[in-house]
Structure 1
């Protein structure tokens, strides 16, 4: 006879079986201590990484993450290639550039769906600026030579008929050093991220000539959706550590989910004080400007890689579009699982 106790026991067993896949679906990371390199962590470009770290989402996935901050994305990339970092938080286009050199890197989760890079000319050094040809022979500040800020500058200049070897690039970082370099006249123009660019713009220090801080601006500059900051690593790391990659993707997508509803006060409370560069109001104004550029679910859009390839091949002789296999530059499998888990 089916007693009440038997029925309750059966119900409990059934519930346990239903719940089991949710509990055991995520296998333990193969590598729990993970080193991540990043080029300019204080920039909004990497805000999802900072939020994920500060809110303890990496730890929640069983990871002990050490983040090493470098002056620019190219140096963070070097740390990955050199073996001192397991994963790089950097610009997606590096996966294409490196494949052109027969080195295969793969993005595992997207942080930004627009480059968030603006280019401006100094109102002090070039008060009579008219067009891009005025930049020939000038010094242009970038986060670090070879970084995504450099790439955007190359693209903008090429469309004005100015070659990269006709200007001088100067590494200025993405924080206070960048502000100082422009305001002191060390550079004549600058290609950089927020909050630096909004601070320079609002104080009248620069005249903006190209802007990818919004989706509309990105469409105008690149002609399509342009994947930006992501976590990328070597194919060997992905092959050997799929559970670790899943844990990293879970953590970042959790951070992206939080950012979708976070208010200005939430951001201020979460990021380190030094990131505000001494001006809380301007920092928040910068956040409002780039908010839509932050990825929502960690997935690289289908058309994004092609947009990046077209941009790179338009000014770089090393990147030949017909020689690049875009399917080897990213995977959405980890982000897709994370999206489903967090309903991002």
Structure 2
């Protein structure tokens, strides 16, 4: 799994801060004074997608450096693997869908979102128009659906579409197709009947294949139609103990990300093209920039969770895992906190 470090990152020897984290118990176990901080390990799935753009911006523009924060970004093939890395202590923080935090409680995980990156999942399900899946979802059995990986957000969204269409998830075979142009070719070559993915892959697909959009969460309207309310998308989440033990890093991370989110609110296509690493453009700069414009409105402006977002996410999980939710009470108040994002916003407003 590749690891990425900012080219602008300076050698660090900063001491841990003892700043309070209001949303957590007052008792902390911060590092003793004089002990150097360990680099912050952030697990991501498919770093080149627009899903992780705020993280890329923060790194490429040196925002982590400005916070004296040493960061190692560990890239996995898909979000499910990034979540697993956090679960087995292979990472300190995960950049992934908020729904993983909610589902994590059902599996005994005690995770909390530190800062929200997107107000929508930013993924979509598409199929060639001639298959007529939009009007006849049951006409192909078994239906092969390409996803980034089993257990990922793309898998989850495709399963939700099946349920909405009156079909059980077992009616489909989910095929891991990876990322980039390989995912597009999987659909073009007929290895899968439908593809659930993120941009810029989706926009590239729309330019190469006549497709029907079966479910689309790349806009706030499309997300509300599918989920019945605001559905939080990507976020940075970690174990509850992370912010207690490493409070300075938690706040520095939030400061960097909220700054990146603010930059994205006004960035021009030319600005973005200068910041994003060339390989992420998939050889099609115009498609990448067009994809960004599609999802721009879903980017969080300030890292704060929408008021009804957690409840919407819980309803979606209840639909997909009714038995598990019936056995375990999900405590939404433990799945996120706006403490760090609000402090980051206040810091930016003072500048």
With the length of structure 1 as denominator, give the TM-score of the two structures.
Answer: 0.88
Structure 1 gap ranges (5+): 1-23
Structure 1 residue 136: Cα displacement: 3.9
Divergent runs of 4+, >3 A? 24-27, 29-32
Which of 316, 322, 337 is matched with 1:317 structurally? 322
Q: Which structure has greater helix proportion?
A: 1
Question: Partner of 1:74 in structure 2?
Answer: 80
Aligned with residue 258 of structure 1, among 246, 254, 263? 263
DSSP 3-state at the match of 2:175: strand
Q: Compute the displacement of 1:238 (Å).
A: 2.2
**Partner Cα distance (1:86, 1:302) in 2:** 27
Judge conservation of contact 1:201–1:207 (CA < 8 Å) in 2: no
- How much is the aligned-residue C-alpha RMSD, in angstroms? 2.0
Q: Does 1:121 align with 2:121?
A: no
Does residue 156 (structure 1) correspond to residue 133 (structure 2)? The answer is: no
User: Which residue of structure 2 aligns with residue 192 of structure 1?
Assistant: 197
Gaps of 5+ in 2: 1-16, 21-29, 32-36
* CA distance in 1: counterparts of 2:324 and 2:270, whole angstroms: 43
Is this contact kept in 2: 1:32–1:63, CA < 8 A?
A: no
CA distance in 1, matches of 2:43, 2:133: 40
Q: Deviations over 1:65-107 (max 9, x none)?
A: 1111111111000111111111100000001111011111110
Deviates more, 1:316-325 or 1:35-44: 316-325
Looking at structure 2, the residues matched to 236 and 57 of structure 1 have their Cα atoms a distance apart, in angstroms, of: 24
2:303 matches 1:289: no
- Paired with 1:269 and 1:113, the residues of 2 have a C-alpha distance of 25
**1:243 corresponds to which residue?**
248
Alpha-carbon displacement from aligned partner over 1:155-199 (angstroms, at most 9, x marks no partner): 111011111112111112232221121112111101111111111
Q: Distance in 1 between matches of 2:218 and 2:139?
A: 24
| Superposition map of 1:1-344 within 5 A | 31-123=37-129, 126=131, 130-320=135-325, 323-343=329-349
Alignment length, in residue pairs? 319
Largest Rg, 1 or 2: 1
